[in-house]
Amino acid sequence: MPTPKNKFLVTELHRKTVRKMSSFGITQDEIAQCLGIDPKTMRRHFRAELDEASTEANSKVAEALFNNATKKGNVIAQIFWMKTRARWRENHEPVDASANSGPVTKVVVEIQDPAKVRADRAKEAERNGD
Protein backbone atom coordinates (compact mmCIF):
# COMPACT_ATOMS: atom_id res chain seq x y z
CA MET A 1 0.00 0.00 0.00
CA PRO A 2 1.54 3.35 -1.01
CA THR A 3 2.30 6.02 1.56
CA PRO A 4 -0.09 9.02 1.45
CA LYS A 5 1.39 12.00 -0.39
CA ASN A 6 1.65 14.17 2.75
CA LYS A 7 3.16 11.41 4.94
CA PHE A 8 6.94 11.28 5.49
CA LEU A 9 8.40 7.83 6.15
CA VAL A 10 11.38 8.05 8.54
CA THR A 11 14.25 5.60 8.04
CA GLU A 12 17.36 4.90 10.10
CA LEU A 13 19.42 6.38 7.25
CA HIS A 14 17.44 9.63 7.59
CA ARG A 15 18.17 9.70 11.34
CA LYS A 16 21.90 9.20 10.79
CA THR A 17 21.96 11.83 8.04
CA VAL A 18 20.16 14.43 10.18
CA ARG A 19 22.41 13.72 13.19
CA LYS A 20 25.59 13.97 11.11
CA MET A 21 24.58 17.11 9.21
CA SER A 22 23.37 18.82 12.39
CA SER A 23 26.62 17.94 14.19
CA PHE A 24 28.56 19.64 11.37
CA GLY A 25 26.59 22.85 11.94
CA ILE A 26 24.42 22.65 8.82
CA THR A 27 21.23 24.64 9.37
CA GLN A 28 17.90 22.94 9.91
CA ASP A 29 16.49 24.57 6.78
CA GLU A 30 19.36 23.17 4.70
CA ILE A 31 18.97 19.69 6.19
CA ALA A 32 15.23 19.73 5.51
CA GLN A 33 15.89 20.82 1.94
CA CYS A 34 18.28 17.88 1.44
CA LEU A 35 15.62 15.51 2.77
CA GLY A 36 12.98 17.11 0.57
CA ILE A 37 10.71 17.98 3.47
CA ASP A 38 9.48 21.07 5.28
CA PRO A 39 11.68 22.22 8.22
CA LYS A 40 8.67 21.91 10.56
CA THR A 41 8.17 18.28 9.48
CA MET A 42 11.86 17.59 10.01
CA ARG A 43 11.82 19.05 13.52
CA ARG A 44 8.76 16.95 14.39
CA HIS A 45 10.36 13.68 13.24
CA PHE A 46 14.01 14.33 14.20
CA ARG A 47 13.79 16.38 17.43
CA ALA A 48 16.22 14.16 19.39
CA GLU A 49 18.81 14.08 16.60
CA LEU A 50 18.69 17.86 16.21
CA ASP A 51 18.89 18.48 19.97
CA GLU A 52 21.75 16.07 20.71
CA ALA A 53 24.02 16.20 17.65
CA SER A 54 25.80 19.48 18.37
CA THR A 55 26.59 18.56 21.97
CA GLU A 56 27.88 15.13 20.94
CA ALA A 57 30.11 16.66 18.26
CA ASN A 58 31.49 19.29 20.65
CA SER A 59 32.19 16.56 23.18
CA LYS A 60 34.18 14.49 20.66
CA VAL A 61 36.24 17.49 19.56
CA ALA A 62 36.85 18.55 23.18
CA GLU A 63 38.02 15.02 24.01
CA ALA A 64 40.41 15.00 21.05
CA LEU A 65 41.77 18.44 21.99
CA PHE A 66 42.17 17.38 25.62
CA ASN A 67 44.04 14.21 24.60
CA ASN A 68 46.29 16.20 22.27
CA ALA A 69 47.06 18.67 25.04
CA THR A 70 47.59 16.18 27.87
CA LYS A 71 48.80 12.92 26.34
CA LYS A 72 50.52 13.99 23.14
CA GLY A 73 52.14 17.17 24.42
CA ASN A 74 50.64 19.32 21.66
CA VAL A 75 51.65 22.82 22.76
CA ILE A 76 49.18 24.54 20.46
CA ALA A 77 46.34 22.49 21.96
CA GLN A 78 47.61 23.36 25.45
CA ILE A 79 47.68 27.08 24.66
CA PHE A 80 44.24 26.95 23.06
CA TRP A 81 42.82 25.13 26.07
CA MET A 82 44.31 27.61 28.54
CA LYS A 83 43.10 30.62 26.56
CA THR A 84 39.56 29.32 26.10
CA ARG A 85 38.96 27.29 29.23
CA ALA A 86 41.23 28.96 31.79
CA ARG A 87 40.77 32.41 30.22
CA TRP A 88 44.48 33.06 29.89
CA ARG A 89 45.47 35.83 27.53
CA GLU A 90 48.70 37.08 26.05
CA ASN A 91 48.26 40.83 26.45
CA HIS A 92 47.30 41.93 29.91
CA GLU A 93 45.20 45.05 29.75
CA PRO A 94 45.17 47.39 32.72
CA VAL A 95 42.69 46.23 35.33
CA ASP A 96 40.58 48.60 37.37
CA ALA A 97 42.29 48.38 40.76
CA SER A 98 39.12 49.49 42.54
CA ALA A 99 37.48 46.23 41.42
CA ASN A 100 40.19 44.14 43.12
CA SER A 101 41.18 44.00 46.74
CA GLY A 102 44.90 43.79 46.00
CA PRO A 103 47.50 45.18 43.64
CA VAL A 104 47.44 44.36 39.94
CA THR A 105 50.16 41.92 38.99
CA LYS A 106 51.37 40.69 35.65
CA VAL A 107 51.95 36.96 35.29
CA VAL A 108 54.26 35.58 32.63
CA VAL A 109 53.94 31.89 31.86
CA GLU A 110 56.50 30.09 29.74
CA ILE A 111 55.20 27.03 27.93
CA GLN A 112 57.95 24.62 26.97
CA ASP A 113 58.02 21.91 24.36
CA PRO A 114 57.45 18.60 26.23
CA ALA A 115 59.99 16.78 24.02
CA LYS A 116 62.67 19.34 24.91
CA VAL A 117 61.79 19.08 28.61
CA ARG A 118 62.14 15.26 28.48
CA ALA A 119 65.47 15.53 26.65
CA ASP A 120 66.78 18.08 29.18
CA ARG A 121 65.72 15.83 32.08
CA ALA A 122 67.40 12.82 30.47
CA LYS A 123 70.66 14.80 30.07
CA GLU A 124 70.45 15.98 33.68
CA ALA A 125 69.87 12.40 34.89
CA GLU A 126 72.87 11.25 32.82
CA ARG A 127 75.08 13.89 34.42
CA ASN A 128 73.89 12.89 37.90
CA GLY A 129 74.48 9.21 37.19
CA ASP A 130 70.81 8.25 37.54
Question: What are the domain boundaries of the chain?
Answer: 12-128
Say which residues have a Cβ less than 8 Å from residue 39's Cβ, sequence separation at least 6: 28, 29, 32
Q: Give the DSSP letter of residue 90.
A: S
The model's pLDDT over 55-92, given as tens digits with 9 standing for 90+, comes to 999 999 999 999 999 999 999 999 998 898 888 887 76
Q: Which of 37, 3, 65, 61 is nearest to 17 (CA)?
A: 37
Q: Which of 7, 9, 31, 34 is nearest to 19 (CA)?
A: 31
Check residue 1 and give its pLDDT.
46
Check residue 118 and give its pLDDT.
81
> What is the average per-residue pLDDT within 8-20?
95
Residue scoring higher pLDDT (49 or 123): 49
Residue type, 9: L
Is 112 exposed, middle or buried, given 0-12, 13-18 or 19+ CB atoms closer than 10 A? exposed
Query: pLDDT at residue 15 above 90?
Result: yes
Check residue 128 and give its pLDDT.
82
Q: What percent of the chain has pLDDT over 70?
A: 81
Question: Does residue 130 sit in helix, strand or coil?
Answer: coil
